[in-house]
């Protein structure tokens, strides 16, 4: 296990981001291919089911990274692929009796809803595997020409990467080829070596024809590892800065991506970042294990900003055990921060100082995205601000408020960020609003029974002034939000 292993950077001068690189197991200065720009590729979802909290942790981690690098002044490009063809997608679609592509689109939309629910910025480019078959075919041709790939010897239409032809194979996960297990992703019969992995999978008679594309090696569909190599090169060129994903992807997926791309003559990623897992009872939260808490359900139970806080606060390389207690603690902690922001804003008034980021916070974030240290600085600023509030020291309150808002902004947690508008919290508020309107309608009904039409009219006007339309039906009064341009002129007396 590499989680938590390796050195952590010492406190550095603010400004220079340092990153733990899985390949070298060291913390390095980020030296980007193009000064002032940073390019990031992180492996996206296989859209075979709704995203769980483990999936969205990866999105939150890379969203915080992106926001921090942008704060440092980098022009950031982010690519996250969508794997929209794969064994599990085909199997599930068949079991459901729906086209495989319909299932994939459906869960891709759910992924987008999860991004939005947790305030994650969408990637700059979000390429689908099925849209990049020509690029994959070209890459396979290069690998075959260079002697690193071959068509299966059993005529299945599979194409394999020849691991023994690439001595560096194993460099990312620090394994010797001789110690590796056979690759699990293809029929071993047509392979030269059991550890060779599939670049391309030949069409099988029981699979839908729409799930196959013509190639010089017959009809078939992409191997998972090849997709990412082809799409990373298309959008980021033959060398880019950071390649990311969950720890489980380090081997075989990322090892295979690295082998394919470098064997094809590309330099590929400079740094590899892997986030730790969200676990449930100590095991990786996973669709396959059926222990996944769906994002859509968790953001109904807890405020979405608190869920983000819960996922962003621990160090990205450590595991997070999923628990209601921790989510409740994150909710309470964020409420304390929000209470300070609200009270401070009332005191300081509308002319807020521009948000700033304290140096200690920046130093923690520059140290391999050290969010635990950064969050400690945030708590200190809230404590200092609360003391200043107690003393009525408006200048000190304003200074703390500027810091707290600056730090919340970088973490993607500023409550005023438009990302939170229309979040799942609205669903929770809907229930509250419905209860309040019903209470007013009950009072109005009572006023009508008492033939106090003036009071009934006042209550109706109150609701109308708030844009609430009331319709009297045989089942009782029903309410809806009025379209902005319409108005009501009827009186309760008219309705009696
Ligand atoms: N429990 C988890 N904790 C953190 N990251 C995760 C977790 N599960 C998946 N990821 C990451 O989410 C991204 C998309 O994963 P992918 O669609 O390949 O799911 P997966 O790992 O096959 O999930 P599952 O095991 O649930 O089927 C990858 O970068 C993966 O590492
Ligand atoms: Zn990938």
pLDDT band per the 50, 70, 90 thresholds, residue 431: low
54, 227, 247, 249, best to mutate for ligand 1 pocket (most atoms within 8 Å of CB): 54
pLDDT of 485 over the 80 cut: no
- pLDDT (0 to 100) of residue 426: 54
At residue 384, the 3 state secondary structure works out as helix
Across the range 30-44, mean pLDDT stands at 96
Helix, strand or coil, per DSSP, at residue 407: helix
- Beta-carbon contacts of 477 under 8 Å, excluding residues fewer than 6 positions away, are 441, 444, 445, 470, 471
Of the residues 298, 328, 355, which one is the last residue of a structural domain?
A: 298
Q: Quick one: average pLDDT of 23-36?
A: 96
List own/partner pairs for 380-385 with CB under 8 A and 24 or more apart. Answer: 381/407, 382/336, 382/337, 382/340, 385/340, 385/344
User: What's residue 438's pLDDT?
Assistant: 87
Check residue 464 and give its pLDDT.
85
Q: Which of 264, 298, 332 is the last residue of a domain?
A: 298
- pLDDT tens digits, 98-136: 999 999 999 999 999 999 999 999 999 999 999 999 999
pLDDT at 434 over 80: no
How much is the pLDDT for 8? Answer: 40
Please give the average per-residue pLDDT across 60-83, as a whole number: 97
Using the Cα atoms of residue 413, residue 401, residue 67 and residue 24 in order, give the sign of their dihedral.
Answer: negative
In 3-state terms, what secondary structure has residue 14? coil
Residue 287 lies in a domain: yes
- 325 domain-assigned: no
pLDDT at 479: 80
249 close to ligand 1 (CB < 6 Angstrom) = yes
- Ligand 1 atom with minimal separation from the 292 CA: 26
Cα of first residue to Cα of last residue in the chain, in angstroms, is 75
In the numeric block, which tokens belong to residue 235?
Answer: 């959008």
Q: What is the pLDDT of residues 268-312, one digit of tens each?
A: 999 999 999 999 999 999 988 889 999 999 999 999 999 999 999
**Are the C-beta atoms of residues 74 and 211 closer than 8 Å to each other?**
no
Look at residue 485 and tell me if it is in a domain.
yes
- pLDDT value for 474: 73
Mean pLDDT of 255-272: 98
Is the predicted pLDDT of residue 9 greater than 50, yes or no?
no
Name the band, by pLDDT with cuts 50, 70 and 90, for residue 423. Answer: low
Near ion ligand 2, which residues have CB within 5 Å? 43, 228
The answer, yes or no, to whether residue 462 has pLDDT greater than 80, is yes
For residue 87, tell me if it sits in a domain.
yes
Among residues 266, 298, 330, the one where a domain terminates is 298
Q: How far is the CA of 246 from the centre of ligand 1 (A)?
A: 6
CA of residue 333 relative to chain centroid, distance: 22
pLDDT reading at 495 higher than 60 = no
Lowest mean pLDDT among 42-56, 204-218, 418-432: 418-432
Does ligand 1 come within 6 angstroms of the Cβ of 49?
A: no
Which ranges in 127-219 belong to alpha helices (H)?
133-145
Please give the ipTM for the structure prediction: 0.96
pLDDT exceeds 80 at position 428:
no
DSSP state of 181: P
Say if 449 falls within a structural domain: yes
In the block, tokens 């068949």 appear at: 94
Task: Using the mean position of ligand 1's atoms as its centre, give its distance from the Cα of residue 292 in Å.
Answer: 10
Can you tell me which atom of ligand 1 is nearest the CA of 46? 17
Whether pLDDT at 339 is above 50: yes
**Mean pLDDT on 374-399:** 97
Euclidean distance between CA atoms 369 and 152, whole angstroms: 44
139 occurs within a structural domain: yes
Ligand 1 pocket mutation, candidates 246, 247, 286, 316, criterion most atoms within 8 A of CB:
246
How does the average pLDDT of the chain come out, rounded?
A: 90
446 pLDDT higher than 60: yes
Beta bridge partners of 125: 79
- Which of 285, 380, 401 minimizes the C-alpha distance to 338? 401
Determine which residue's CA is closest to atom 16 belonging to ligand 1: 45
pLDDT at 376 over 80: yes
Across 467-484, average pLDDT: 75
Q: 482 falls in which pLDDT band (50, 70, 90)?
A: low
pTM summary value = 0.84
Q: What pLDDT does 470 receive?
A: 84
Is the model's pLDDT at 396 over the cut of 60? Answer: yes
DSSP per-residue string spanning 350-372: SSPPPP---HHHHHHHHBTS-HH
Sheet containing 75-80: order of strands: 75-80, 37-42, 239-246, 268-275
For 340, the token pair is: 């300070």
* Residue 153 in this model has a pLDDT that exceeds 90: no
The pLDDT, as a whole number, for residue 427 is 52
For 214-235, how does the pLDDT look when each residue is reduced to its tens digit (9 = 90+)? 999 999 999 999 999 999 999 9
Please provide the DSSP assignment of 427-484 as one string. Answer: HHHHHHHHHHHHHHHHHHHHHHHTT-HHHHHHHHHHHHHTTEEEEEETTEEEEEEPPT
Averaged over 362-369, what is the pLDDT? 97
pLDDT band with cut points at 50, 70 and 90 for residue 478: confident
Residue 148 within a domain:
yes
Provide the domain limits for residue 209.
Answer: 30-298
Rounded Cα gap, residues 175 and 180, in angstroms: 7
- What total of structural domains would you count in the chain? 2
Indicate if the pLDDT at residue 493 is higher than 50: no
Mean pLDDT, residues 18-32 taken together: 97
246 within ligand 1 shell (Cβ under 6 A): yes
Is position 38 within any domain?
Answer: yes
Would you list which residues are annotated within the binding site for Zn(2+)?
43, 228, 253, 257
CB 285 within 8 A of CB 52: yes
Check which CATH number belongs to the domain holding 198 and give it: 3.40.50.620
């Amino acid at each position: 296990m590499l989680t938590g292993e390796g050195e952590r950077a010492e406190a550095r001068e603010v400004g220079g981001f340092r990153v733990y690189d899985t390949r070298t197991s060291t913390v390095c200065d980020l030296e980007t291919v193009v000064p002032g720009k940073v390019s990031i590729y992180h492996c996206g979802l296989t859209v075979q089911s709704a995203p769980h909290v483990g999936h969205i942790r990866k999105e939150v981690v890379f969203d915080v990274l992106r926001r921090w690098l942008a704060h440092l002044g980098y022009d950031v490009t982010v690519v996250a692929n969508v794997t929209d063809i794969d064994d599990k997608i085909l199997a599930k679609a068949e079991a459901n009796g729906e086209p495989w592509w319909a299932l994939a689109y459906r869960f891709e939309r759910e992924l987008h809803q999860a991004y939005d629910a947790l305030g994650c910025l969408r990637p700059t480019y979000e390429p689908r595997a099925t849209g990049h078959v020509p690029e994959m075919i070209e890459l396979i041709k290069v690998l075959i020409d260079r002697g690193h790939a071959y068509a299966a010897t059993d005529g299945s239409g599979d194409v394999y990467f020849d691991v023994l032809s690439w001595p560096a194979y194993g460099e990312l996960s620090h394994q010797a080829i001789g110690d590796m297990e056979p690759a699990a992703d293809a029929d071993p019969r047509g392979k030269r070596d059991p550890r060779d992995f599939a670049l391309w999978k030949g069409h099988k008679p029981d699979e839908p024809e729409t799930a196959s594309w013509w190639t010089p090696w017959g009809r078939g569909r992409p191997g998972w590892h090849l997709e990412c190599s082809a799409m990373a090169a298309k959008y980021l060129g033959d060398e880019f800065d950071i390649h990311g994903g969950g720890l489980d992807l380090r081997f075989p997926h990322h090892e295979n991506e690295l082998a394919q791309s470098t064997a094809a003559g590309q330099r590929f990623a400079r740094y590899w970042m892997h986030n730790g897992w969200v676990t449930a009872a100590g095991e990786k939260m996973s669709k396959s294990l059926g222990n996944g808490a769906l994002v859509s359900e968790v953001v109904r139970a807890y405020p979405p900003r608190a869920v983000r806080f819960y996922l962003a606060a621990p160090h990205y390389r450590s595991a997070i055990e999923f628990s209601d207690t921790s989510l409740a603690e994150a909710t309470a902690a964020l409420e304390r921060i929000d209470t300070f922001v609200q009270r401070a804003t009332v005191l300081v008034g509308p002319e807020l100082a521009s948000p700033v980021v304290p140096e200690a916070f920046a130093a923690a974030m520059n140290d391999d995205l050290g969010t635990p240290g950064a969050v400690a600085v945030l708590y200190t600023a809230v404590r200092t601000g609360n003391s200043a509030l107690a003393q009525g020291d408006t200048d000190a309150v304003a200074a703390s408020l500027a810091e707290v808002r600056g730090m919340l902004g970088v973490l993607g947690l500023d409550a005023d960020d438009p990302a939170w508008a229309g979040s799942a919290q609205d669903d929770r508020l809907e229930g509250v609003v419905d209860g309040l309107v019903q209470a007013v309608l009950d009072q109005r009904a009572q006023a009508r029974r008492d033939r106090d039409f003036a009071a009934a009219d006042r209550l109706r006007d109150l609701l109308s002034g708030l844009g609430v339309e009331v319709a009297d039906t045989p089942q009782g009064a029903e309410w809806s939000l009025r379209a902005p341009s319409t108005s009501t002129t009827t009186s309760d007396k008219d309705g009696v």
